[in-house]
Structure 1
Amino acid sequence: MFETHLDATYAWLGLALVSVATVGVVAALPAAPPPDADGVAHTLGSVADGEYVATAEHGLAADRMRLTPHAIELESDGGSARSTVRGPPITPVSPGGSAVDPQLRRVLDGVPPRAAFEDPEAFADAAARARAEDHRWRTAPRRLTVRQVRYGGTRVTLVG
């Protein structure tokens, strides 16, 4: 008495189409979340904006990265993410030494600036040139090192 008569062929065809569409949507979803650019930017900003000289490291789960004086961009299979760094500009230092000045890499690695540069002006000039160079995409390391240093009246936050 309360029976509904459906044509079974059309019902099965509709169910099959919905299933295929669902599988297509699920397959298009990324396998991993995008990298955490906000967390890295927070670490960079905390060191750069800090009152005291400091060093920090932040792990990266990204394949590629691009650092600029005011932002970080990360890219992986899960997508890409960009975040602005608060505080004073950071100074990107490329792996293996900057194309502008390899001495900045030595300072980032722990050498005091007075041992790597003749005077504070040379240090400030090298940092300014590094901030002005072309900031291209690079292979992301597993860990990013951030170091704020002072030499004379110059305060610089090196990142590499």
Structure 2
Amino acid sequence: MFDAPPDVWYTWVAVAVASVAVAGVATDLPTRPAPDASAAADTVDAVAGSSYPSSAEHPLDADRVRLRPHRLALRTDGETSHATFAFGPVVPVGGDDALTRVARGVPPGRAFDSLAAFREAVEAARERAADADWRPADDQLVVRHLEWGELDVTLVDA
């Protein structure tokens, strides 16, 4: 009289399978939101659009970064965000120690022997950045707009 009807087993198995599926989806969700590439690009644009030498830093909440002369991409936990610079091209300095020092505040005349050497480093960095791949991101995006002689550049390091 109080026995379960025979179709209860099917219902129980269906509920168990649905529970496992929901648990699988929940564990696969990203643990953090996508990084804010637009805010980082706005910082670059604010410095690059300045008519005077200037610099700025922007905190990054990304694990990896891809900097190119006209755009920026940030990645964390499989989430990726992209943004395009309004003022460009900029010079991503990754891989060049002297340009990195200049981006972080060292006068270019102290990091390079001549304006020609600085110009060559800037051109080489732009060429490398055209096909840049993902690399580990620093905690800060550093942007510096400067003029040396007739060379007017915006250096970006992340």
Superposed pair shares fold, TM > 0.5: yes
CA–CA distance in 2 between the matches of 1:94 and 1:88?
A: 17
2:156 counterpart (147, 153, 159):
159
Percent sequence identity is: 42
Pairwise CA RMSD: 2.3
Alpha-carbon distance in 1 for matches of 2:135, 2:111? 25
**1:23 corresponds to which residue?**
23
How many Å separate the matches in 2 of 1:31 and 1:126? Answer: 39
- C-alpha separation between the residues in 2 aligned to 1:82 and 1:152? 33
Whole-Å separation in 1 of the counterparts to 2:54 and 2:75:
27
1:138 is aligned to 135
Extract unaligned runs of 5+ from structure 1. Answer: none
1:63 equivalent to 2:63? Answer: yes
Aligned residue identity for 2:142: T
Which residue of structure 1 lines up, in the alignment, with residue 124 of structure 2? 129
- 1:1-54 per-position Cα deviation (integer Å, ceiling 9, x unaligned): xxxx99433333332232222212212211111221111111111211222221
The Cα shift of 1:114 comes to 3.5
- Within 1, Cα distance between the matches of 2:21 and 2:102? 55
Distance 1:22 1:80 in 2: 24
Q: Secondary structure at the match of 2:35?
A: coil
Task: Give unmatched runs, 5+ long, in structure 2.
Answer: none
Output the CA distance in 2 between the equivalents of 1:72 and 1:63: 14
Residue 95 (structure 2) pairs with residue 90 (structure 1): no
TM-score by length of 2: 0.82
